[in-house]
Amino acid sequence: MGEFVVTPGLPDDWDIAAGDCPAVGRARWINFGQSWFPGPYQTFALRAPDGTCRVAMGGAVLPEPAAVPRRDPWHILTGRTADLGLFTADDHPWPGDLDPDAVYPCLMLMYPYYGTFPVGSEAADPAGLREFADELVAWAKSEHIASITVLYLTPPADPLVAALAEAGFATAAMGQRCDMPVTWSDFPGYLATLPKKYRDEVKRELNRMRERGLVTGTRALADDEPELLDLRCRLIAKYDGGVNRADQAAIFDMIREYVAPEDITVFTVSDGDRLVSFSLFIQDGREWTVMLTGTAYGEPNADYGYFSAMFYQPAELAPAKGVTQVSYGYGTLDAKRRRGCLLYPYQSAELRL
């Protein structure tokens, strides 16, 4: 037996407990993701008598629905995010007409970058996970919380999903995410992994890039990046309709603060002296994660630049960097699949108290 401990933010030993878990669960990703997390971030941990971490996860208690639907349980579980691919209108766990007051305050467990799994020495142990689930429910009841939701449960969380189901949680499939296993040693090897029709599509795009004189490159992140910021804002404006330039600039600053320069790779595509696309990848061990991307939408060569910076240049450089997996996350699944990504399911669990 152990003690159930709730800590504001991250405890000092988080990365020790996390070990070699997927990047989204490591301290630096959680730290620079907290600024747009929908509530004060907390760590929920089951600790052994000597203080070591047996099972831990992170999340927040939300007093009401959050402003960003993809980060809010009520929006997701009632099907209001069907247009984002997070459940469908006919497949959501909560009724579409559910009053938010029935489920808030809501304890939501997930990491800021849309992934969820437990860490700690017993992160895959059924008995330890069941004890963690029971302690979590008891704590939530003591705090007069109306519901517990666990969102974006990725495959490493499968033992947890089973333990939550035993503890009375309802579990459901949410959707799929994309990751690219790196199994090649050079770019021709990457192309060889693609079905012929997709391989031919990539070759056509690369030929058109050469015909248009587009130039690719890689570099470090500089102290000031007005060009990257401009392209980033153009992307946000295209998909969200509005953009706060200061907020986007702050993301670049947080990356500089929390990530060592040698772990950052910026891929660029230029048309003459103008930058038309970029992507920024962060390396954690053998894993690369796409952190930021931006494109000069509306310009003739922008689409070619986007696919090059997001897929083809990283695919070529990954073996030399020792990367064995590139994490591409959620959304635009078909475009990612055609360029070599595999689809992996993610799930949800919820308990109304």
pLDDT of the residue at 347:
93
The confidence score (pLDDT) of residue 88 equals 62
Q: 238-268, pLDDT tens digit by residue?
A: 776 678 889 889 989 999 998 999 999 999 9
**Residue 298: predicted pLDDT:** 79
What pLDDT sits at residue 84?
72
Q: In terms of pLDDT, which residue wins out, 322 or 79?
A: 322
CA 23 vs CA 108, 219, 236, 314: distances in Å: 20, 22, 24, 17
Residue 289, token pair as written in the block: 């994660």
Pairing of strands 170-181, 147-153: unpaired
Structure confidence at residue 116 (pLDDT) = 97
The pLDDT value given to residue 89? 59
pLDDT tens by residue, 67-78: 888 899 999 999
| Average pLDDT of the chain to the nearest whole number | 93
Look at residue 51 and tell me whether its pLDDT is greater than 90: yes
Q: What is the pLDDT of residues 81-121, one digit of tens each?
A: 877 766 665 678 999 899 999 999 999 999 998 999 999 99
Q: What is the CATH number of domain 183-323?
A: 3.40.630.30
Reported as half-sphere exposure (CB side, CA atoms, 13 A), residue 227 has a value of: 13
Q: Is the pTM of this model over 0.85?
A: yes
Topology agreement, domain 3-177+345-352 and domain 183-323: yes
Beta-strand ranges (E) seen in the chain are 3-8, 42-47, 53-62, 106-109, 147-153, 170-181, 214-219, 264-271, 274-284, 287-295, 325-329, 342-352
Residue 297, pLDDT score? 82
CATH code matching the domain that covers 3-177+345-352, chosen among 3.40.630.30, 3.40.50.150, 3.30.70.260, 3.40.50.720? 3.40.630.30
pLDDT for position 86: 67
- Above 80 in pLDDT, residue 306? yes
- Helix (H/G/I), strand (E/B), else coil: 31: helix
**Residue ranges per domain, the chain?**
3-177+345-352, 183-323
- Confidence category of residue 1, pLDDT binned at 50, 70, 90: low
- pLDDT-derived band of residue 36, with 50, 70 and 90 as boundaries? confident
237: confidence class by pLDDT, cuts 50, 70, 90 = confident
Tell me if residue 307 falls in helix, strand or coil. Answer: helix
How confident is the model over 185-214, as pLDDT tens digits?
999 999 999 999 999 999 999 999 999 999
